[in-house]
Amino acid sequence: MEGRWNRRYDWQYDRIPSGCGLAAIISEAGRSFGGEEIIQSICVLHDRSNGLGGGFAGYGIYPEKRDLFAFHVMFESIEAKELVDAYFDRNFYVEESGHIPTRKIKEITNAPLLWRYFVKPLDDSLQDCELCEEDFVTRSVFHINGEIPGAYVFSSGKNMGAFKAVGYPEDVGRFYRLDEYEGYSWIGHGRFPTNTPGWWGGAHPFTLLDWSLVHNGEISSYGINKRYLEMFGYRCELQTDTEVAAYLFDLLLRRHGLSIEVACKALASPFWSDIDRMPEEERELFKAIRMVYGPALLNGPFAIVLGFTGGLIGINDRVKLRPLVAARKDDRLYLASEEAAIREISPDLDVVWAPKAGEPVIGRVRTGEPEVVGAEETVA
């Protein structure tokens, strides 16, 4: 089993050629498949990362606990865990908690305590603060990450989970035993940290509720995005630019109810010169988006993949300063930084293309289960 997606090469070289790599797969028929494929795909992009961060998210992986929020939490100490346990006991019904299953491998070291809780907010807690479940969970995530030293929530959605660590992605996937999970959608990331530390919490994906986001690039508008998000109660605690993108999608899609297409045009707006040439109705829409959501504009180079219940989005910055390739085969949509990462797992593709700058590629589960929450009802 291990041999199939174990290290393909003997990585004896010390030169590190370039930036991050990302990959994603979704079955639009909602068919589940094991975590090996995304590991095998991201493994091709090994040389885009440098061993300082790797991670994954899988959707549909906890079908028996689909109605509970699955919290993945890392602890630097037992004391931190005790504080979080007490917090959960006060605010949530905890159906089950325990170690996140891992495999001891020599490539992944200095692991924090990794714990998983399947929980549901207590009715009393929800009534006391007059929040919906999702807002209550969001507030809990920010509370733990900001107020409990040495504790960090890295996954908090339903029937999905994020898995991340310091290491190369293929090792991180093996460490977290992703071959033992099955899901209909997977995203993966190998990190090459540039501006912020390579720590366990700084690996991608960044998550909130069932949103998970991986990113290659730099968000140079981080300051204005962070201040904007803070007005809506988001707290940026993770020492990296990428988290603002995850929270912006939560704000625009879940809380403001924008369609995916409109949200993407807020984050990666066309230039004013392009807007000026649009037909009047479209021009007014885009002017409104830029005026209302100016502080949500993501500036700088990026390729981003966002995972959510029932779907995937891949999007580039407005002038395509980072690579992103998309492909389809049967019911599958694939995204990756390089075509090779897709060909590795699906050599005979139906179609492969390079998405245009600022234009999202959207993959959706189209039949029956799993049910799409949040974004579905708001699609234009």
Do residues 210 and 62 lie in contact, with contact meaning Cβ atoms separated by under 8 Å?
Answer: no
Q: Taking CB under 8 A as the rule, does residue 348 contact other proteins?
A: no
Query: How many Å apart are CA 204 and CA 144, to the nearest integer?
Result: 19
Q: Which helix (H) or strand (E) holds 113?
A: strand 113-121
Do residues 203 and 111 lie in contact, with contact meaning Cβ atoms separated by under 8 Å?
Answer: no
Q: Which is nearer to other proteins, 170 or 338 (CB)?
A: 338
The end-to-end CA distance of the chain, in Å, is 44
Bridge partners, residue 117, by sequence: 71, 97
Site string for other proteins, 173-202 (x = CB under 8 A): ------------------------------
Binding piece for other proteins, criterion CB under 8 A, among 97-105, 123-131, 298-306, 354-362: 354-362
Annotation says 132 is catalytic: no
Query: How many Å apart are CA 167 and CA 50, to the nearest integer?
Result: 8
Do residues 325 and 353 lie in contact, with contact meaning Cβ atoms separated by under 8 Å?
Answer: yes
**Residue 237 structure tokens:** 């605690």
Q: Which is nearer to other proteins, 111 or 349 (CB)?
A: 349
* Amino acid, single-letter form, for residue 224: I
**Residue 340 structure tokens:** 């090779």
Q: Taking CB under 8 A as the rule, does residue 250 contact other proteins?
A: no
Q: Which is nearer to other proteins, 325 or 375 (CB)?
A: 325
Q: Taking CB under 8 A as the rule, does residue 150 contact other proteins?
A: no
CB of 205 vs other proteins, minimal distance in Å: 22
Q: Taking CB under 8 A as the rule, does residue 47 contact other proteins?
A: yes
Do residues 244 and 226 lie in contact, with contact meaning Cβ atoms separated by under 8 Å?
Answer: yes
Footprint of other proteins on 256-275 (CB under 8 A): 273-274
Query: How many Å apart are CA 116 and CA 99, to the nearest integer?
Result: 6
Q: Which is nearer to other proteins, 43 or 148 (CB)?
A: 43
Strands 185-190 and 21-27 turn out to be: antiparallel
Nearest Cα neighbor of 317 from 241, 211, 209, 229 is 241
CB of 344 vs other proteins, minimal distance in Å: 5
Footprint of other proteins on 79-118 (CB under 8 A): none
Q: Which residue has the tokens 């090459």?
A: 192
Q: Of the listed 20, 43, 236, 264, which one is catalytic? A: 20
CB of 44 vs other proteins, minimal distance in Å: 6
Binding piece for other proteins, criterion CB under 8 A, among 11-19, 72-80, 278-286, 360-368: 11-19
Binding piece for other proteins, criterion CB under 8 A, among 23-31, 105-113, 293-301, 346-354: 346-354
Do residues 59 and 309 lie in contact, with contact meaning Cβ atoms separated by under 8 Å?
Answer: yes
Q: Taking CB under 8 A as the rule, does residue 344 contact other proteins?
A: yes
Q: Which residue has the tokens 């690996």?
A: 203
Q: Taking CB under 8 A as the rule, does residue 368 contact other proteins?
A: no
Q: Taking CB under 8 A as the rule, does residue 16 contact other proteins?
A: no
Active-site residues: which are they?
20
Interface contacts to other proteins, rule CB under 8 A: 8-11, 13, 17, 44-45, 47, 273-274, 277, 319-320, 323, 325, 338-341, 343-344, 352-354, 356-357
